[in-house]
Amino acid sequence: MRWTAEEWSVVRDIASTSTALGISFADIPIASGQATPPDPVHVLLAAVDRWEGRDFVINFGGLPMKGRNLDLYATLARQLRADSIRCSTAAGSGHPTSSLSAADLMAVLLVGHLRYDWAKPKDPANDHLIFSKGHASPLNYALFRAAGAITDDELMTFRKLGSRLEGHPTPVLPWVDVATGSLGQGLPIAVGVALAGKRVLAAPYHVWTLTGDSELAEGSIWEGLDHAGHERLSNFTAIFDVNRLGQRGPTELEWDLDAYAARVKAFGCDPIVIDGHDLAAIDDAFARARNGERPTVIVAKTVKGRGVSFLED
C-alpha cells in the first residue's frame, strides 16, 4: 500500500507552518509515495515520533486571534488528526476515525471561538466544552495538547495504567466538566450547565457540546434539546458530528441533514446545516451560534476517518 502526496501533506504542512511560527525541528525523513508496511497508521506514528513531537507543538490556546485565519484552522486540524492517530495507535485501542471526522470542527472552535483561560480552569467566565461523544477522547486530548494544557509526553500515555487520559474523558482532568462516553448523556448535562449559567449564576460563558450521530437515537438527547428550547438557552450550542457511521454500521438517518434539522427546529432550537469540513462555513456557524437568540444546533455533515484516504468512509 502507498500513501498519496495529500496524505503526507497532513504532516508536512505542520512542518512548514510551524517553521513559519519560529518552531524548528528535523526535516521529515520520508518521501511521498514511499512504500509502507501493511499498517500505514503505524508508519505515520513512527514518522511523527521521529520529529520529537514535544518540540513542535503549537500552543494555539495562548495565541491572540483577530479575524478569520483559515490557514491556521487548517494547520491545527491536521495537527489534531495526527495527534489523535499517534496516541490511539500507541495505546493499541481507541476511536481514531471518530476523532478525525470532528477535527475541523474542533480546530475552528479552539482557535476562533472558545473563550477559555487554560491556566485557570475554574474561572467562572470560561466557556464549557463537553464531549458528549466521549469515545472521541483522542481528539479531546489532542485539543488539550494544542492548547498547551498537557504535554506531548502525557498525550502519549493515553489509556495506559495510571494515566489521566482515560479511554473516555473524566474530571480527573481539570478541563473536563463531566465523565462522558455513555451515549446520550453529555448533551443533556451541557443543557444543565447552560441553564445554570443563564438562570442561576448570570455567568457570561457559552456551552458547546460535541455530539455523535449514533447517540442521536437516544431519547435523552431530544429531551435535552426540548428543555434548551423551552428555556431559550441562547448560551448553548450543540454540534452534531454527522459522519453517518456507528460502530456496527450506518446510523438511523445516515446523512439526511434535513431530517435532523427538522427535528431540531421542532424542539425549539435553531439548526444550522453545514459541511463539517468547510472551515469558513464552520467559522460562520460558530459566530452565529455565539450571537443567537435561541439555542443553536450545528448539523455538520462529516466523513468518518477524514484526512486519511484508506480510512475515510
pLDDT in tens, 242-275: 988 877 788 788 889 999 999 999 999 999 999 9
CATH number, position 221 = 3.40.50.970
Bigger pLDDT: 92 or 67? 92
Average pLDDT on 104-124 reads: 95
Decide if 207 is inside a domain.
yes
Per the CB < 8 A criterion, the answer to whether 145 and 180 are in contact is: no
Average pLDDT on 146-161 reads: 92
Distance CA 222, CA 184 (A): 9
Percentage of residues of the chain with pLDDT beyond 70: 77
- Looking at the 3D structure of the chain, how many domains does it have? 1
State the cell numbers at 194: 447552560
Decide if 28 is inside a domain.
yes
Phi, psi of 304 (to 5 degrees): -65, 135
Q: Predicted confidence band at 68 (pLDDT cuts at 50, 70, 90)?
A: low
* pTM listed for this prediction: 0.78
Residue 265 lies in domain: 5-301
Decide if 36 is inside a domain.
yes
Distance CA 243, CA 251 (A): 9
Decide if 286 is inside a domain.
yes
Decide if 198 is inside a domain.
yes
Rg (CA), the chain: 19
Distance CA 132, CA 228 (A): 16
Residue 230: exposed, middle, or buried by beta-carbon count in 10 A (0-12, 13-18, 19+)? Answer: exposed
Question: At a CB cut-off of 8 Å and minimum separation 6, what does 32 contact?
Answer: 3, 4, 5, 8
Decide if 313 is inside a domain.
no
* pLDDT, position 92: 86
* pLDDT, position 39: 33
Decide if 196 is inside a domain.
yes
Half-sphere exposure of 102 (CA within 13 A, CB side): 33
Phi, psi of 25 (to 5 degrees): -165, 175
List, in sequence order, every residue forming a beta bridge with 237; answer none if it has no partner: 208, 296
Inter-CA distances, 277 with 58, 73, 76, 246, Å: 21, 11, 13, 19
Least reliable range by pLDDT among 27-41, 136-150, 283-297: 27-41
Q: Predicted confidence band at 313 (pLDDT cuts at 50, 70, 90)?
A: low
Decide if 107 is inside a domain.
yes
Inter-CA distances, 218 with 212, 223, 268, Å: 11, 9, 18
